[in-house]
A and B are shown apart, each in its own frame.
Chain A
Amino acid sequence: MSGNVSRRKLITTGLTAAAGVAGLGLAAKIADHYGLIPPDWGGIWGPGETLTYATQRLLMANGSVAREFNRSDVSKVVPVSGPQPKTDPYQRLLAGGFADWRLTIDGLVARPSTFSLDEIKRMPAKSQITHQACEEGWSFIAEWTGVPLSYVMNLVGVSEKAKFVVFYPFDASWDSLDLPDAYHAQTFLAYNLNGKDLPADHGAPLRVRVARQLGYKSVKYLHRLTLVDSLKHVGDGRGSASPSYGYSWYAGI
């Protein structure tokens, strides 16, 4: 009697497991089609990372916005994480007040372009006061001013094939965003922090500001953006420099 029960349980469990595996296979195909698989999906941490990314992409599908704060909430201290690049050409451009600095936008765009800092500052500016948490655990609230990345992308005409924007800074921390985050209303190319020109250690002359992810996605010291349809052949193929240091590509957590 009890033997039968456990056999039945065993069969039921086996069937459930088989259905689960088949379901996972199908789910993976559908997920890839809808852009729910992160570039660092491989390896032992892939399953958790993929579940997080896919779930959050679905949750945020209708363009949720990060909380915005009042000027009175702005933190008095804005900690520096990772100092400015100490080498040329960055130091040379910094010394010249970034007059010779240019932002290049290329890849899958209709009109590959370069912009000077003045040209970017003449684009329609927006400000936001948002909370930024570092993956380490500390956080601050600051006011960022810049041009929405979506404005610049529309200006150069992004191809329908493009799926990611890759950011190249003067240091080694290259990174990328998927298009839902790149086009998001709170994703800025920021040149101003708390009413002043972006200080060098905070990413001068231009940095990305991504409100719905941890701080390390807000790449500093930008000089080039590239639109691509796949991250497989960019760098080591895992979407950013972060996975090689042990950090996830997606940082919505």
Chain B
Amino acid sequence: MATSTYLEAGAIREANRPDTARFSLLVRVTHWLNTISFVGLVVSGFGILLAHPRFYWGETGGLGTPSIFDLPLPFMLGGPSGWGRYMHFQAAWLCVLTGLLYAISGLVSQHFRKNLWPAKGQLSWNSLKSDLWNHLRFRRPAAEEAHSYNVTQRLSYLVVVFFLFPLMIWTGMAMSPAVTSVFPFFVRSSGGYETARTIHFFAANLLVLFVLVHVAMVCLAGFVQRTRAMITGRVSGGRVRP
């Protein structure tokens, strides 16, 4: 039964190989560099947030002015936001440089077009519906998915790479008094300094949500096998679950 799924998916050439290439070196290296930088950004971002866990809309806001929401967190001054900032920008540099390498090579090698842009037929309503339904029921992915991305993966990766990360960088730039003195459009287009900060917070939450679902899906698909694939670049044919 399982083999016929393979045949239909047209992945038989790949599947019959005992040891098949899955991820290019560049995708693997940038994946793990980005993992490191993302952890750094989230931890330090949370540290910075603790200095003032209140959010505003517009150019300005502070204690004594109305907020749009307050997080039930303590105001912690003097510690986390200091090392948090040092760490945040170091991690941001790693993230941006890795991201540039990934984006440029992904365009040149056509990785985005071949592997992330939804394949023919994947964008049909039925295909989208069944794929999303499989995800929502936490169904173990079909075996051919060890070799290529399904449509939910493709779409969410595209959103993360081409929308959420650029949005984080854009709103991040909008909060830099030095950068906005040279490029004021970052903050103007964001709707003001405090609005940029609020958008930055929400986009960060979406990215964390993405990572949680991503890790959950990796666990579902076989954590050891998939993680090894992202390290060695190979899926061993014999171990792919039918």
* Residues of A that sit less than 8 Å from B by CB: 2, 6, 9, 13, 44-45, 47-49, 51-52, 56, 59-60, 64-67, 69, 73, 75-77, 79, 131, 133-141, 211-214, 242, 245-248, 252-253
Asked if B86 contacts A139 (CB within 8 A), the reply is: no
With beta carbons under 8 angstroms apart, the residue of A47, A67, A141, A213 that contacts B184 is A67
B4 on interface, CB distance cutoff 8 Å? no
CB-CB under 8 A for A133 and B177, given A73-B59, A138-B63:
yes
Report 21 cross-chain contacts, Cβ distance below 8 Å, ordered by A residue: A13-B25, A47-B93, A56-B178, A59-B178, A59-B182, A66-B177, A66-B181, A67-B180, A77-B64, A133-B177, A133-B193, A135-B81, A136-B81, A137-B48, A137-B52, A139-B59, A139-B62, A212-B177, A213-B177, A253-B85, A253-B178
Which chain B positions have C-beta within 8 A of A133?
A: 175, 177, 193
Closest approach, in angstroms, between the C-beta of B123 and any C-beta of chain A? 33
Closest approach, in angstroms, between the C-beta of B209 and any C-beta of chain A? 22
Asked if A141 contacts B59 (CB within 8 A), the reply is: yes
Asked if A137 contacts B82 (CB within 8 A), the reply is: no
Asked if B82 contacts A141 (CB within 8 A), the reply is: no
Closest approach, in angstroms, between the C-beta of A50 and any C-beta of chain B? 10
CB-CB under 8 A for A64 and B91, given A75-B65, A138-B61:
no
Which chain A positions have C-beta within 8 A of B126?
A: none
Asked if B89 contacts A52 (CB within 8 A), the reply is: yes
- Interface positions, chain B 139-182, Cβ under 8 Å from A, are 175-182
With beta carbons under 8 angstroms apart, the residue of A76, A136, A211, A242 that contacts B181 is A211
CB-CB under 8 A for A246 and B86, given A73-B59, A77-B62, A139-B59:
yes
Asked if A51 contacts B93 (CB within 8 A), the reply is: yes
Asked if A47 contacts B90 (CB within 8 A), the reply is: yes
Closest to B92 in A: A48
CB-CB under 8 A for A45 and B64, given A135-B81, A135-B85:
no
Asked if A140 contacts B89 (CB within 8 A), the reply is: no
- Interface positions, chain B 82-110, Cβ under 8 Å from A, are 82-83, 85-87, 89-94
Asked if B90 contacts A79 (CB within 8 A), the reply is: no
Which chain A positions have C-beta within 8 A of B92?
A: 48
Tell me how many residue pairs across A and B have CB atoms closer than 8 Å. Answer: 128
Closest to B83 in A: A246
Asked if A48 contacts B77 (CB within 8 A), the reply is: no
Asked if A246 contacts B82 (CB within 8 A), the reply is: yes
Which chain A positions have C-beta within 8 A of B59?
A: 69, 73, 131, 139, 141
Closest approach, in angstroms, between the C-beta of A15 and any C-beta of chain B? 14
Band of interface residues on B: 35 or more
Asked if B86 contacts A48 (CB within 8 A), the reply is: yes
Closest approach, in angstroms, between the C-beta of A10 and any C-beta of chain B? 9
B79 on interface, CB distance cutoff 8 Å? yes
A59 to B56, CA, bound (A): 29
With beta carbons under 8 angstroms apart, the residue of B77, B78, B86, B182 that contacts A60 is B182
A45 to B81, CA, bound (A): 14
With beta carbons under 8 angstroms apart, the residue of B25, B93, B175, B182 that contacts A9 is B25
Asked if A131 contacts B65 (CB within 8 A), the reply is: no
Closest to A132 in B: B177
Asked if B51 contacts A137 (CB within 8 A), the reply is: yes
Asked if B177 contacts A211 (CB within 8 A), the reply is: yes
A42 to B100, CA, bound (A): 26
A134 to B182, CA, bound (A): 20
A131 to B181, CA, bound (A): 11
CB-CB under 8 A for A141 and B60, given A59-B182, A60-B178:
yes
B187 on interface, CB distance cutoff 8 Å? yes
A242 to B85, CA, bound (A): 12
Closest to B173 in A: A253
B197 on interface, CB distance cutoff 8 Å? yes
Asked if B86 contacts A248 (CB within 8 A), the reply is: yes
Asked if A139 contacts B194 (CB within 8 A), the reply is: yes
CB-CB under 8 A for A138 and B181, given A52-B93, A245-B82, A246-B83:
no
Closest approach, in angstroms, between the C-beta of B77 and any C-beta of chain A? 7
Which chain B positions have C-beta within 8 A of A52?
A: 89, 93
The interface centre, meaning the residue of B51, B59, B92 with most chain A CB atoms within 10 A of its CB, is B59
A140 to B64, CA, bound (A): 11
A59 to B94, CA, bound (A): 19
Which chain A positions have C-beta within 8 A of B193?
A: 131, 133, 139
